[in-house]
Chain A
Amino acid sequence: MRTTLRILQYEWKDLLRGKWVAGYGIFFLVLTDLLLRFAGSGANVLISLTNVMLLFIPLAALIYGVLYLYQSREFVELLLAQPISRNSLYWGIYGGLSVPLTGAFLVGVALPLTWHGVWTSEALASALLVLGMGSLLTLLFIGLGFWLGFAFYEDRIKGFGFALIAWLVMAVLYDALVLLVIYVFGDYPLEKPVLAMSVLNPIDLARIVILLKFDISALMGYTGAVFSRFFGSAWGMVAALFCMGLWWSIPLWRGQRIFTKRDF
C-alpha cells in the first residue's frame, strides 16, 4: 500500500509536468467557459458539456491508458527489478494515471462553473451528476485501456487499433445495434429490452441517466417514463451502479491478471 501510494505520487508529479494532462484540463476549462458565456443557462451548458464529455472522455481515457503503458515501459521494468510486488505497481500506475486525469477534468469543469456562479440552487445536483459521470467514465475507460494495453503490450499498433475499435463500438456502433433492434422488432413493446441494452453500455448508461436528470424525460414520452421509473427506483440505481462497477472492475482485473503473469 505504501509503495502503491509512492508510485502514484511520483507518477502524478511526472504526469502533471507533461503537457498532456494540463492540455486535457485546459480543454475542459475553455470548453465550459465558452459554453457558459455563449450557450446561456446552466442546464443548457451542462447538456452541451455532457455531449462533448460522452464522446471525448472515453476516447481520451482509452488512448491515454494504452499510450501511457507503452510510454512507461522502461519505467515499469526499472520498478519491477526493485523489491516491490507487481500488484502494488499495477495499482500505483493505475492510480497515478486516473487520479490526475480525473482531477484535470473535475478542475477544468468546476472552475468555470464556480466563477460563473452556477453552483447555486437547482443546477447543483445536475452539475454534480455530470461531474460524477465524467469521473466514472474516466476511471472506467482508463481501466479498459490498461486491459488492451497489457494484452497487446508487444504490439502497439494492435493495442491502439483495438482501443479505437472499442471506443467506436461503445460510442457509436452499439447504438446502431440498438437502433437495428428497434427497427427489426418495432412491433413489440421494446422499452424493457432497450433499457437492458442501454444499461449494458456505460456510455449509453451515463448519457441516459444525465438526460433523465435534465427533465428531458418528458420528451421521451412513454419510453422516458419507463426509463425514469427504472432509474428512479432503488433497484434501477443499484443495477446501473452495478453495471458501471462491472465495467470498471472486469477490465481492470483482467489487466491486472495479465500484468502479474506476463514477462517483461
Chain B
Amino acid sequence: MTSRRTETGGRIDRFRTIRFTFDGASYTGHPGDTLASALLASGVSLFGRSFKYHRPRGVLTAGVDEPNALVTVLRGDVREPNVPATMVEIHDGLVAESQNRFPSLSWDIGALNQLAGKLISAGFYYKTFMGPVIGPLQGTRFWMFCEHFIRRAAGLGRAGKAPDTARYENMNAFCDVLVVGSGPAGLMAARTAAEAGKRVILAELDPVLGGSANWSGETIGEVPAADWAAEAIRDLQEFDSVRLLPRTTVWGYYDGNSLVALERVGDHKERFATDEPRHRQWTIRAGSVVLATGALERPLVFPGNDRPGVMLASAAKRYANEFGVLPGDKVAVFTNNDTAYGAALALKNAGARTVLIVDVRADVSADMRAIANELEAELLTGHAVVATEGGKALSGVTVQPFQAATGTASGEARNIHADGLLVSGGWSPAIHLASQAGARPEWDDGLQAFLPPQPTRKWTGAGAFNGAFSTAESIAQGVAAGMAVSGGGGQRFEPPAVVTVAGDPKPAPVLEIRADGKSFVDFQHDVTADDVRLAHREGFVSVEHLKRYTTLGMATDQGKTSNVPGLAIMAAALGKSIPEVGTTRFRPPFAGVSLGSLAAERFGDLRPERLTPMHDWHVEHGATMYSAGLWHRPQIYGDPGETIEQAYVRETRATRGSAGIVDVSTLGKIAVQGPDAAEFLDRVYTNMFSTLPVGKARYGLMLREDGIAFDDGTTWRLGERDFLMTTTTANAGKVMQHLEYFLDVIWPDLKVAVTSVTDQWAGAAIGGPNARKILQSVVTGTPVDDTALPFMGIVHGEIDGVPVMICRLSFSGEMAFEVYCGADWGTHVWEALMQAGKPYGLVPYGLEALGTMRIEKGHVTGAEIDGRTTARDLHLGWMLSKKKPFIGSAMMDREGLIASDRLQLVGIVALDNRPLSGGAHIVEELHEGNPHGSIGYLTACCYSPSLGKYIALALLEGGKARHGKRAFVSDPLRKRFGPVEIVSHHFFDPEGTRMHG
C-alpha cells in the first residue's frame, strides 16, 4: 500500500509517531490523526462491509456523520462496536477491528448477498418471514432457523461479553449560555457572551476546538483561520466564567433547556488516568443555547456511489488540510454546487491532481471555470457520473450527459481513470438539536435544505446551522447570537476580514442520477433509491412509514447523510415537493452514547444500602444479610452447616423457650407533633388516638381514601402533643407522604409537624418468657414489672448509661419489649442486652424467625395488607371506629368491599408435612394436569416449631366459614400439590396468655 501522507502541512504532530493495529496489522500515525486519517494515510481504502449486501466500503466523511467506516475498538477484552473511524483518535496501543465480515475484510463470504440483491430489497424480512411456513417445512421452526443466520449475516459490530471496568460519571452543570459547536460562529458567540459577563459552556465534539477553521484553509484577520481560532480559544480560557468542553457531543435537548452531552475523557489515552472516568455524561441546564452546529455535506445518489474511494468533497479537503492526507493522487469531482471546487483546490495545494470535474449544472459561473482552469482539470458541465469501477478501491468513473428534466443520463458514455471521487450534493444544516427542542424545520429552495425556523426564547442559532455557509457571515452571526443571549449586552466589534475561495453554496436541485445499478441513499442500512421507490409503489406514502419500512435513516448515524436525498427521491415518486412531503423529527441521541455513561456509577445493586445502627454487629456475628427494600436486615444468624430452615427453627424455639432479640430499627418512625397531633391521628387512623393516655402505645390501622387497608403499626403518646408513630418498614416512605399530603392539601389548618425520625432511634425487640428478667437485670432508673410497665405501657430508663425508652408490645406473641435508644448508642445497648441475656440463652434472631413467629400468631404484614384487602378481610373490623370519620371511612362500606365472597385471612396447615410456598393456590378439588378452580392463595408460609407442622397464612374465599375444612394446595409451577386443612389464622396461643404474662 502506498502512503498517502503529504510531505508537509496538516495539523498533526509529525515529530511523534503512534503505533496501533487494525484487523491485526500494525500501522503508524501521528498525534492529531483519527483512525480514519491514519489508515487513509497508510493507503488503506477498505474499512468495512455493508450492513445487508456486504459491499466493500471505505470512508465517506471525516466526522460524526460517517455511515461506512464503522469499527470495533478493543481495550483488553472490552469491545466497543460501531464506532466511526472518523471519531477515533489514535493512541499507542489502539486496537481496532473492521466489522460485518467473515472470514476477513478482503474475502467476505457474505458478499454473496449482492447476487441476491433483488430478493433482499425493502421489506424483505417483513414479506418473507412474517407469513406462515408453507410446503414441506410446514409446522417446523424453519423461519426461526433462518432468522439465526440472517441475524448473523446482517448487522454491524458485535458487542462483547467482558465486563467493562472503566468508570463512567454523571455531571450536572449550570450556565447562562451553552454554545454547541466551536467553529467561527460558536467561538464568536461564546466570546461575546463571556464579555457580557455570562457563564458560558462551549461544547465541541472534536478534540480540538475551532471547527471548520482548522481545515478551511481560509485566512481570517490576516492570519490562517486555524491560528485565528487558536487565539480566540486562548482568549476564552482567560475567563473564569467559561468552561470549554472539547471531545463533548451534545446529544440531547430536553424540556426546560436541559441538554445532555457526552464527554469522552479517556478514549484518546493509551491508559485511562487513575480514578478518572472514561466518559462523563453532562446534564447542562442552560439559560439559553446558541446552536452553532454547522452543516453536513450530502452525497449524491448514483450507481456505485458507495465504492471505496468515493468521498464527500469537504471530507477530502479536511483530510488534506487538517491531517495531511490525500484521498487519491488523481481525483475526479462530481458536484451539483460550487463548494466542491474549493475542495479540489485544497487538494491541489496538498499535491493531488484533479483530472475531471463533473457538474450536473448546465453551466457554471466564470469563477468556477477559472478554478477548473487553475486545476488544469477537464470541466464537464451538464454531465453526471453513472458508474464507478474498482474492487476494494476506486479505479475509474463513467460519465454521461445529464438530462435535468428527467434526472437521467444518456448519450455518449466515457470512462475516466481516477483513484478518488469527490462528491458534493450540497449542504444540510445540522438542525438536529433544534428539531429535538421542537422546532419545525423550514425548506429553503435556494439551498435545497431544511433550515431552522426563527429562534425561540430557548435557543438561537449562528453560522452554517442557519444556512449561513460563509465564514464571514458565520462570524457576524456568532457575534449577533452572543449579543442576543446576553440581552443585547456585549460590545460590538469590527468583524475580521475573511479571505476565501469564491463560490455560491446554492446547489442545483439534483440529488439523484437515475441510472442502472445500485444507488445508495442510506449507506449504513444499505437502502437504495430503488428501495425508496419500491416502498412508494407498495403504498407507503407517509414519510414516517417510509422511514420505518425501508429503515432509511434508522441506523446508528441517524440518517445524517441520507435524510434529504431520501426525501428528494420520495418526493419525486409522489410527484410532490420536498416541503409537501415533510421531514421526520430528529430524536436523541445525535450520535452514539455509551451505555456505561447512562448508568454512570449506578451498577451492581443500583441502590444505596440502608444500614441499621447494629449492622456491623450482625455481620460480625454471622448474620446472613437480606435486602428488604433498601434496608439490609439479618435473615438468620446461621451456625456452621445449618440450613435456613434449621436456623430459624432454632432461633424461634430459643425465643419461645427463653428469650430472643431482633433488630427493629428499620420500622418507620414518624414524629407527629403539635397542638393538633391527636386530632390528626384520629382522622388518619381507623381507631381513636385522642383518648390514648401519655405514656401508652396503641396499635393503629390506616386505610386509603378508597377504603382499602393501607398500613398498620403502633403509635406511642410521648407527650400531650407529641406522638411517635411507627409504620411497617416497607411503607415508611409512603405513610410519610400520605401524612404530608393531608396536612398540606386537605387540612392545612391543623398545626401538626411530621418528621421522619426512623434514623434517630435504634430499636431492639426482646421477647420470650425470660425477656422481662433480662430487662430487670440491665435496666436502671425504672421498674419494668407488670405494674410499671403493663402491656402497651412505655417507660424511660437507662441501660448501661444510655437513656432508653421501652414499650411493652409484642409481634412474636411472647412477653416482649421494644427498647429504643439514640442510634449512635444502638450497638452499645444491644451488646448490653446480649450480655444480660447470656444466663438465659438469649439469641439474636433474624427476619425468618420474626416471620415464623408472626405467622404462628396470625399477625398481618405487607403480604396481607397488599393494597387489595380491607380491614374486615383481615379480621381487623373491630378497629373501625364508629364514633368519628377517618380517611377511608366513607368508602369502606361499599358493596364490593363487604361482599361475603371476598378473600379473607385464614390459616393453612399442610397435611402431608411438606413445605408450602407463598403464592401457591388453594383448590377444592385437585387437578394436577389441568389446574383450575382457585379459591385463594398463600401469602406467607413457614415451618412452625410450636406446632411441628408446615403452616401458612392465606387469603381465601369465604374465609372463616371454611375453618376445619380440607382443601388442596395447587402450585403447578413448582409442582407442589397436596392436602391441607383450613384453620383459624391464630395458630398459636390464641388467648395471648404468653404475651400478657
To the question of whether A and B form a pair in one complex, the answer is no
> What is the interface of chain A, defined by CB distance below 8 A to chain B?
none
What is the interface of chain B, defined by CB distance below 8 A to chain A? none
